[in-house]
Structure 1
Amino acid sequence: MERILTSTVRPILQMQEFIEAVTFYHYLKSNVLESWINIQKEFVYNVGESTNEQDGAEIKAFDENKQEKECTPEESAIETSSEKSHITTLLIPSDYFLGIGDLTGELMRKCINNLGSGNIEGCYQTSAFVREIYKGFLSIGNVAKEMSRKVYTLRQSLNKMENACYTIHVRGSEIPKHMLADVLSSSHDDMMDEDEGFY
């Protein structure tokens, strides 16, 4: 039996922050964007009445004659499988996309931090990754006010990263690596961050 839990009052911001954290973790780990389907699988929970499952140990059971008999964990699992059910918490796709919008702000900070540590190639990779996310967001269109704010913030973050890559490409040879972040921050002081929260 499978049940899908939804609620009219959802902790929207917390879900978006969760998506941001999970996708940022997977980007740092393997340089990929974790898909909605894979994250949705994490919201499927197995529940059941039996709580005495043991791994690798033999489980003692009693037959109708009150005599003790030995059964393996596999046999016990077969006996209790009918009592188990699945609960699925629905991850709404719009929450996933809004969380990805928040992720791009973290990636922009990572790109600038890469410059501070002298990792110029990492800055180029992160910028290209965010550019692909931006292309995907453009294909979604303007579906909601909150989505348009995320796209606006995403465009600002991408502009900062592309300007950083441009500055490195043009002036990289004349600026020491340990000073790149300072030069970029001083040249972008006039570009203010758009608030990612609610107004």
Structure 2
Amino acid sequence: MLDEKNDKYERIYKTSRDITVRSKRVIFTLHRIPGVTEEVKESLMSSAANELRDIEQTLMKHIAMELRDEDPHQFVYAYTSGIQEYIEALSFHYFLMTGTIISHNDAQKKVTFGNGKEDHADVVPLSVLLQPKEYILGIADLTGELMRFCIKCVSTGDFDKCYKICDILKTMHGGFLSLGYIPAKELYHKMMVFKSSLHKVEEACYSLQLRKSEVPAEMLSDVFAMYDADENHAHFM
């Protein structure tokens, strides 16, 4: 029995690593959007959506099947890194589509599947347990992606997107502060990174307000070149 659980844990862990890799691919695709034509943007968004859907219908569903008739809490740590990276990618795509942050309930629906037994309506559907903690940690990681996206938008003259990102980050920061204590040591580090990201976005928007009437849009990117280079270096370390 113990060997079976260990084997299952290892299978879930390996699947989680695949989810992490493919979710990072989605994020990379979305970061190509600033500065492209509307047609290319639609193509990139569609590509990201298809990749997310495939992650859900293959890798996530595989984990859900492994968790069938099991206590999912026993295996959460096997897939926590993958689910957090997936939430980061999913919420990034969702924000670019809607300008809002996907809710925990809607994210859970993405990884909840039919029970495969249509003639047994009372059977619990297959799902990957998305604990609030994993959702929160994934959303916390999103803030860094939004900061990087904002800085890239400066160089393309998409100032409205920068202001929108600044507003949503401020709202998210207030939301995180209202959470109180959460038993997740990772969150402390993520909040430090979040504060740094928010500061950079606020500084970018402040500089835009001061300089956009004096400096051509294509030159404003020089103001933030150091931020962009530093963040890209840190992101791919």
Q: State TM-score, norm by structure 2.
A: 0.62
- Three-state SS of the structure 2 residue aligned to 1:47 is coil
Contact 2:155–2:219 (CA<8 Å) still a contact in 1? yes
Q: Residue 136 and residue 174 in structure 1: after superposition, are their counterparts in 2 closer, same or farther (change >3 A)?
A: same
Aligned to 2:112: 44
Aligned to 1:133: 172
Give the alignment's Cα RMSD to 1 decimal: 2.9
Question: Aligned runs of 1:55-70 on 2, under 5 Å?
Answer: none
What whole-Å deviation, never above 9, does each CA across 1:145-185 have from its counterpart, x for those lacking one? 21111111000000000000111111222221001121122
Aligned to 1:32: 100
Aligned length: 166
Aligned to 1:14: 82
Contact 1:115–1:123 (CA<8 Å) still a contact in 2? yes
- Three-state SS of the structure 2 residue aligned to 1:45 is coil
Paired AA for residue 82 in structure 2: Q
* % identical equivalent positions: 34
Contact 1:48–1:85 (CA<8 Å) still a contact in 2? no
Q: Is 1:145 paired with 2:213?
A: no
Aligned to 2:207: 167
Q: Distance in 1 between matches of 2:70 and 2:166?
A: 38
Q: Which moved more, 1:3-12 or 1:118-127?
A: 3-12
Tell me which structure has the larger Cα radius of gyration. Answer: 1
Q: Distance in 2 between matches of 1:32 and 1:125?
A: 10
Structure with a larger share of its residues in strand: 1
Structure 2 residue ranges without an equivalent (≥5): 1-67
Contact 1:48–1:83 (CA<8 Å) still a contact in 2? no
Contact 1:36–1:93 (CA<8 Å) still a contact in 2? yes
Q: Distance in 1 between matches of 2:104 and 2:88?
A: 12
Q: Residue 111 and residue 82 in structure 1: after superposition, are their counterparts in 2 closer, same or farther (change >3 A)?
A: closer
Contact 1:5–1:87 (CA<8 Å) still a contact in 2? no
Q: Which moved more, 1:176-185 or 1:17-26?
A: 176-185
Q: Residue 83 and residue 167 in structure 1: after superposition, are their counterparts in 2 closer, same or farther (change >3 A)?
A: closer
- Three-state SS of the structure 2 residue aligned to 1:173 is coil
Q: Distance in 2 between matches of 1:192 and 1:116?
A: 15
The alpha-carbon deviation at position 46 of structure 1 amounts to 1.8
Question: Aligned runs of 1:88-103 on 2, under 5 Å?
Answer: 88-103=127-142
- Three-state SS of the structure 1 residue aligned to 2:133 is helix
Structure with a larger share of its residues in helix: 2
Paired AA for residue 212 in structure 2: G
Contact 1:5–1:88 (CA<8 Å) still a contact in 2? no
Q: Is 1:156 paired with 2:196?
A: yes
Q: Distance in 1 between matches of 2:107 and 2:210?
A: 40
- Three-state SS of the structure 2 residue aligned to 1:86 is coil
Q: Distance in 2 between matches of 1:105 and 1:171?
A: 24
What whole-Å deviation, never above 9, does each CA across 1:104-136 have from its counterpart, x for those lacking one? 111001111111110111111111111111111
Q: Is 1:180 paired with 2:192?
A: no
Q: Distance in 2 between matches of 1:41 and 1:96?
A: 13
Q: Distance in 2 between matches of 1:4 and 1:107?
A: 36
Q: Distance in 1 between matches of 2:155 and 2:216?
A: 10
Q: Which protein has greater RCO, CA pairs closer than 8 Å, 6+ apart?
A: 1
The alpha-carbon deviation at position 44 of structure 1 amounts to 2.0
